[in-house]
Amino acid sequence: MINILEATETVKMITQENLDVRTITMGISLLDCISSDPDELCGNIYRKITTCARDLVRVGNEIEREYGIPIVNKRISVTPVGLIGASACSCPEDFVKVARTLDEAAKAVGVNFLGGFSAVVSKGMTQAEENLIRAIPQALASTDYVCASVNVGSTKTGIDMDAIRLLGEIILETAQLTKENDSMGCAKLVVFCNAPDDNPFMAGAFHGVTEGDTVINVGVSGPGVVKTALESVRGENFEVLCETIKKTAFKVTRVGQLVAQEASRRLGVPFGIIDLSLAPTPAVGDSVADILCEIGLEYAGAPGTTAALALLNDQVKKGGVMASSYVGGLSGAFIPVSEDQGMIDAVEAGALGLEKLEAMTCVCSVGLDMIAVPGDTKASTLSGIIADEMAIGMVNSKTTAVRLIPVIGKGVGDQAQFGGLLGHAPIMPVNRFSCEDFISRTGRIPAPIHSFKN
Amino acid sequence: MKRNMKKVIITVVGKDTVGIIAKVCTYLAQNQINILDISQTIVGGYFNMMMVTDPSACPRETGEIADELDAMGQEMGLSIRVMGEDIFNAMHRI
């Protein structure tokens, strides 16, 4: 029988430490929607999504009320549209139409984001995939809930530099088209290396072709819970520190596992994975940077940050894998800037810059996330930053991602306001030296050697 | 609480006043929710109570009960949470 101390601990985690289930994401395969006629394709997609996800939001809300645990987001990921639209879409405008259909379907079922306006072009782009990428600015500017992602590299294939060059321009164009909202469109576009097929977190979620017809993936969170747990072990040695993180990650993940199983059972959709990421929000006390400070740093970005983050990431995984047999997605600590008040404070204090963030991405679960840069940053510079980040992922066999927001009309010292879960961000300075000649080379970077590990 | 034969844990936290248990218990009795176990402590003037309940005879949804108890708690300056037992077992038992 549960005792009062255990009950109080759980209640405190939820009411005071922001423990929540960040997202229930339903993955939906659109492979059976393929048609050579754009209108028929859109009709099929709308029908499939609104049928499969009809009860998603209702069931999510039911579980939330019965267990008393907030389930913040209900979302959908679909098969990369670059594949689905290949036969029907002969130009970028056709893909924009598909994006609008996805947006309508998302609104019809009441989810708050839908991911999968995506292309997987790790080695090369088909004409359709290139058209999809060229459609991204218009698609993101003319929809509310659609998220786009492009996987431009992997450890097995190398890096598609043609796609990276194109994406530098696409990011700027997206920023231009959404400049009234501080270039918000770019917050819905992620560039990946080694993207997982089962990621439930936005903006990078898509339903990979390795997946079944429908699946339920759940993303848990809980940086505030870890931070609070660590407050009780100040000054203790690393063993105690690690043990505390592991135990906390275990508890958090078990809640996610329970919610995932319940959602899967009630919806009659197979359970896929738990993504045990520490995902911060702009809310005070829901910050990964605050955990790093609790570990012993004055600010995130101080010397020791990469080591502390490596430790944190590893312990979260070690605690989480014991709690669920199916762990997947990105699983680790996210380090977005705008979505984490502690990170924003670190940037504003001058403790954290783009270069240190890049180093941190070598050991965190994703990459350069939600970073606002000056609106006059050159496309080739954006491509260069992406290429660097992709190289880290490729060589280290890990997922890396870039979500940069060149805020049109703003420069270093200004603030970008995105609102809600996306938060606000100080514009960060970017290295001004040119990489134009490097980026203008065509072709791809070959896959790395898997021996001689040094 | 149709479809749901599982136990529900009700926690009450807040400043101690006269009649907290009486009020919560009366509400539960009116809704045919059986109390299986009660434990309570007072730490620094703060009242902590946990009730393990069996709602199988209650005709209403857990969510409605949770909302009403939450409202009742707010009137008395307390935080009352209604949560399925599974979440506690998942978190604290291997």
Is the model more confident about A218 or about A418? A218
Residue that finishes a domain, picked among A157, A178, A193: A193
Q: Does A8 touch chain B (CB under 8 A)?
A: yes
Look at residue A214 and tell me if it is in a domain: no
What is the average pLDDT across B37-46?
86
Residue that finishes a domain, picked among A156, A175, A193: A193
Residue that finishes a domain, picked among A177, A193, A209: A193
Distance from CA of A254 to the nearest CA of B (A): 6
| Candidate from A7, A65, A255 with C-beta closest to B90 | A255
Binned at pLDDT 50, 70 and 90, residue B1 comes out as: very low
Binned at pLDDT 50, 70 and 90, residue B4 comes out as: very low
CA A2 to chain centre: 36
| Candidate from A15, A68, A251 with C-beta closest to B91 | A251
What is the average pLDDT across A398-408?
95
Look at residue A78 and tell me if it is in a domain: yes
What is the average pLDDT across A250-274?
94
Asked if residue A170 and residue A101 are part of one domain, the reply reads yes
Asked if residue A255 and residue A156 are part of one domain, the reply reads no
pLDDT score recorded for residue A79 = 97
Binned at pLDDT 50, 70 and 90, residue A124 comes out as: very high
Burial of residue A102 (number of CB atoms within 10 Å: 0-12, 13-18, 19+): buried
DSSP state of A331: -
Asked if residue A229 and residue A165 are part of one domain, the reply reads no
Look at residue A256 and tell me if it is in a domain: yes
pLDDT score recorded for residue B5 = 56
| Candidate from B13, B49, B86 with C-beta closest to A67 | B86
Helix H or strand E encompassing A318: helix A305-323
Look at residue A198 and tell me if it is in a domain: no
Which residues make Cβ contacts (< 8 Å) with residue B25, sequence separation at least 6? B35
Look at residue A4 and tell me if it is in a domain: no
CB spacing of A255 vs B92 below 8 angstroms: no
Cβ neighbours of A1 in B, within 8 Å: 37, 52
CB spacing of B84 vs A67 below 8 angstroms: yes
Which CATH number do you get for residue A143?
A: 3.20.70.20
Please choose, from the candidates A298, A412, A280, the residue with its C-alpha nearest in 3D space to the C-alpha of residue A338: A280
Distances (CA, A) of A387 to A192, A406, B71: 10, 17, 54
Look at residue A284 and tell me if it is in a domain: yes
Binned at pLDDT 50, 70 and 90, residue A17 comes out as: confident
Asked if residue A409 and residue A307 are part of one domain, the reply reads yes
What is the average pLDDT across A143-167?
97
Alpha-carbon torsion (B25, B31, B36, B42), positive or negative? negative
Domains of chain B plus CATH, in order, are 8-92 (3.30.70.260)
Asked if residue A110 and residue A224 are part of one domain, the reply reads no
pLDDT exceeds 70 at position B3: no
> What percent of chain A stands above pLDDT 70?
100
How many domains, chain A? Answer: 2
Asked if residue A134 and residue A223 are part of one domain, the reply reads no
Look at residue A207 and tell me if it is in a domain: no
CB spacing of A15 vs B81 below 8 angstroms: yes
- Long-range pairs of B67-71 with CB within 8 A, sequence gap ≥ 24: B68/B27, B69/B10, B69/B24, B69/B27
What is the average pLDDT across A124-128?
96
Beta strands in A214-325 (DSSP E): 214-220, 271-275
Distance from CA of A21 to the nearest CA of B (A): 12
Angle among Cα B34, B35, B38 to the nearest 5 degrees reads 175
Asked if residue A277 and residue A144 are part of one domain, the reply reads no
| ipTM field | 0.86
Look at residue A9 and tell me if it is in a domain: no
What is the average pLDDT across A366-393?
95
Instruction: Provide the residue range defining the domain that includes A315.
Output: 219-445
What is the identity of the amino acid at B22? A
- How far is residue A154's CA from residue A123's CA, in Å, rounded to a whole number? 8
Over the stretch A190-243, which tens digit does the pLDDT of each residue have? 999 999 999 999 999 999 999 999 999 999 888 999 999 999 999 999 999 999
